[in-house]
Structures are given as structure tokens and as C-alpha cells.
Structure 1
Amino acid sequence: MNKIKVLLAEDEASLGMIVTESLESRDFTVFHAVDGEEALQIYQQEKPDILVLDVMMPKKDGFTLAKEIREENKQIPIIFLTAKSQTSDVLEGFNHGGNDYLKKPFSMEELIVRIKALLNRVELKQNVESLKIGNYTFNHTKQILTFNQEEVNLTHREAQLLFYLIEKKNEILDRTFILNKLWGNDDFFNARSMDVFISKLRKKLKKDENVQIINVRGFGYKLLC
């Protein structure tokens, strides 16, 4: 089985070494760059499976690097590393094509979980034509939910929300993550809007009693099926 190739762009030498050694000890192949220009060169040469990019780097920052790579590759997963005080980086990161973010300091276990989750998401999207939810079939590309040959059209946001629920099926979908990802921030009004979309999805999935979207108070939602 081929090793997962990770491009790590991190200019802080000690952190870069720790992350590299930790990932390699878990059977990842890691290419470590110390600035944005070196990271772009490695990306073009090695074609990694996933990018882990520090936001603040010399020569080319993480946002600029991600934007350039996104122009030619829409699919590769990107995780941004941000300083704890840089809360604005979270939203800007998503706007520049990021899929996830980690605030420093972070644990290696959390980074590895997020890497694997994003790679699983890429694999899931490749088979998105026939996603099963109980007795429903969900076509994410066409935004159609089918039950016994009866089709229901979903809005773009409903389809995106359902996709993330399916990806975390029988696990908790983090409320803050999905609000930042689909609504842009996790303020009170967006949270109420998301609750409305969850209610709409529940109605559209009610024909199969074995399919449920439950609230996990204080954490998020869980799709059970």
C-alpha cells in the first residue's frame, strides 16, 4: 500500500521537525518546506496527497500559496496552521480554498485525525453518485435525494450539509466547523439558520424511520442510519 504523501510548509524549525518525525513514525511520507516558494516547488515535483500549510511564512504566505495551487487543483485537501490569536485566519483560510484548520499549539493525534478525515472525504467524493443513507440514495453532484424512485431536489446548502453528515455518519459533526465552512462564521444568527436547514433535511429523510439526525447538545449533530 502506498504511503500518504504530506507536504508540510512550516518555517518554525523545531515545530517542522516534530511534525515531520511524528508523521513519518506513523508511516506517512513528509516533504518539509520552510517557506512558501519552496513549498510550491515541492508540490509541483512530488504531487503530494494533502497540504499542511502554516499561514505566516517567508517569501509566500500560506493563503497565497493555497490560492495558487487551487487554480490548478480543486481537489487536494488543504489544512491551515494558525497562531492561536489569529482567529480571523479561520475564515480567510476557508475563502482561500482551505478545507480545515488547526490552531497552534495542537496535538499530533488531532492533526492525523484531520488528515485522514480529509483524505476519506476526497475518496467519498469520487464515489458520490451512489451514496446510500438507509433506503435513500443521495446524488451530491445533482443535489438529488431518491427514495423508492421518488426524487427530491435539494438546495446547494442542503446538499453540502447532508454530504458532511454522511461523511461523519454515526459520528458527531462538529457544529463550529460546519458553521464556519458553510455559513462563514459561527455567530448566533447563522447557528439558528443551520438549525432550520437541519429541520428541512429531517423532513426530507423521514420516510425511512431508521434514518435520524440527532442533536448532540454542545457539540453538533449526528446522522444515524
Structure 2
Amino acid sequence: MHKLNLLYVEDDIEALEDVVFLLKRSFSDIYTASDGEEGLSIFKNNSIDIVLLDINIPKIDGLQLATEIRELDEYIPILFISAHSDTINLLSAIDLRAISYIIKPFNINELKNSILKAIHIVNKDKNKSNKIFLNNGFYWDNYKTELTYRTELLALTKNEILLIKHLFENRNRFLTAEDLKEIIFPEKKVEANSIVQMLSRLRTKIIRKINNDNFFIENIYGNGYKIK
């Protein structure tokens, strides 16, 4: 078993159960959803390594769901399952950098080989060193979602990791507290001020840890937050 998590979104319950039974030995956890909205919520609130999507799912279809997931994580392997092989869907899947487009009814080995390919990609990426210099001695590894100061690994909460990851992946623009709230607390009725407080606590924690006033997130009044 690989220490990886899979998100599988499928509205055909029988097909979902069959695939989960087939793949359960390959993953630590398999998260399932029967529609796109539920799938997006699970993705935002859990650590997902690979995404398997049926295209024709309710509320948010598989292609739109993949588009929203790509906005949150540009590297995660995405695989599609579809009962149709029309060119438009296939081209959309290519645009979303899907690693497989599996047509129903599919051969079991075809699915297994596609999943093994995705696992290989994730494991290869996780072993990479992808430290990006931020400023003043801070480095961010977007594959391992780790923050270091010089050579010291800094302890972060799950929400702090989501916060930094999203700021990093949008590092060429400012994000407001409202923008960040929608990513970190998508299903919770919280005020944008919760993000302001989180950033303040993170800044205080890091400044105390490194014993100086350096910080890698800037806040410009009226614009929002951005990685320096």
C-alpha cells in the first residue's frame, strides 16, 4: 500500500463501490463523493494526492471540478472516467493536463495501470527538492508543503499550510482576506477577519521562533496579502 490519498467522485454507486474495492489496497485513504460540490469540499478540506473523476456527475461536472481543483493545485494528477469519448471532452481533459481518460466500460488493468502511473508521478514529485527562496532566509517547498527558515523546518498547522500554499500559487497577485477565507473555510460560516487573525498569529509565531522581525508575507492596505 502506498501512503497516498485518493479522491474519487462518481454518482453511480455500484461503479463507485467496485472501484473502491479494486483500489483500496493501493491507498491509505479513499475519499468518495457522489457530486462535484461534495468532491470540491472534500478536496479543500483534506490532503489529496490523486483525483479520479467521472465526467458526468451532478451539480458540478467532472471537467469543471477539475478546473477548480487545478486552480488550487496545478501539479496533482487527475484521471477522468467517462461513458463517452467525444472530442470536446477529450480536448478539455488534455487542456487540464489529465494523465488518463478512461472510457466506460473499462478494462480493470487499464484502470490499474493509469492509477500506477499517477502514483509514480506523485512519488517522484514528493522526492524532489522544490525549495523556492521567498525572502530573508525563508524557503517554501510546494511539493512537500514545508516552510523552512535557513535550514530549520518550521512547524505549521493544516490551515497555515493551506494559507501559504494558496498565497504561493498566486504569488504574482494580491489576495484579500475574503479570497483566502473561501479557500481555507469553504463550508464554514466564518468572517474574513478570521484570516486576518490567523495571519497575525502566524507572523507572531514565526518572528518569535526565528528571533527577528523578518516575515515573508506582505499586507498592503486596500490590496490584500502577497508572498514577498
TM alignment of 1:174-189, pairs within 5 A: none
**Is 1:113 matched up with 2:113?**
yes
- Quote how far apart the aligned CAs of 1:51 are: 0.2
Which whole-Å CA distance do the structure 2 matches of 1:86 and 1:28 have between them? 34
Q: Is the 8 A contact 2:5 2:27 kept in 1?
A: no
Paired position in structure 2 for 1:46: 46
Which whole-Å CA distance do the structure 1 matches of 2:6 and 2:119 have between them? 11
The aligned amino acid for 1:114 is: S
The aligned amino acid for 1:66 is: A
Paired position in structure 1 for 2:103: 103
Q: Deviations over 1:165-219 (max 9, x none)?
A: xxxxxxxxxxxxxxxxxxxxxxxxxxxxxxxxxxxxxxxxxxxxxxxxxxxxxxx
C-alpha change, 1:108 and 1:26, in structure 2 (3 Å) is: farther
Q: Deviations over 1:37-68 (max 9, x none)?
A: 00011111222110000111100001111111
Which whole-Å CA distance do the structure 1 matches of 2:50 and 2:90 have between them? 18
Which whole-Å CA distance do the structure 2 matches of 1:6 and 1:14 have between them? 18
TM-score of the aligned structures, taking structure 1 as reference length = 0.52
TM alignment of 1:112-151, pairs within 5 A: 112-125=112-125, 127=128
Q: Is the 8 A contact 2:56 2:62 kept in 1?
A: yes
TM alignment of 1:1-225, pairs within 5 A: 3-26=3-26, 29-125=29-125, 127=128
Q: Count residues in correspondence.
A: 129
Q: Is the 8 A contact 2:11 2:35 kept in 1?
A: yes
Q: Is the 8 A contact 2:81 2:102 kept in 1?
A: yes
C-alpha change, 1:5 and 1:16, in structure 2 (3 Å) is: same
Q: Deviations over 1:15-56 (max 9, x none)?
A: 011111211145552111000000011111222110000111
- Quote how far apart the aligned CAs of 1:89 are: 1.8
Which whole-Å CA distance do the structure 2 matches of 1:19 and 1:102 have between them? 13
Q: What is the CA RMSD across the aligned residues, in angstroms? A: 2.3
TM-score of the aligned structures, taking structure 2 as reference length = 0.51
Which whole-Å CA distance do the structure 2 matches of 1:115 and 1:65 have between them? 19
Which whole-Å CA distance do the structure 1 matches of 2:81 and 2:73 have between them? 20
- Quote how far apart the aligned CAs of 1:3 are: 3.0
C-alpha change, 1:56 and 1:106, in structure 2 (3 Å) is: same
Q: Is the 8 A contact 2:82 2:103 kept in 1?
A: yes
Which whole-Å CA distance do the structure 1 matches of 2:103 and 2:117 have between them? 17
Give unpaired runs (5+ residues) of structure 1.
130-225
Give unpaired runs (5+ residues) of structure 2.
131-228
The aligned amino acid for 1:61 is: D
Which whole-Å CA distance do the structure 2 matches of 1:26 and 1:122 have between them? 13
- Quote how far apart the aligned CAs of 1:4 are: 2.4
- Quote how far apart the aligned CAs of 1:88 are: 3.2
Q: Deviations over 1:51-87 (max 9, x none)?
A: 0001111000011111111112011100011114434
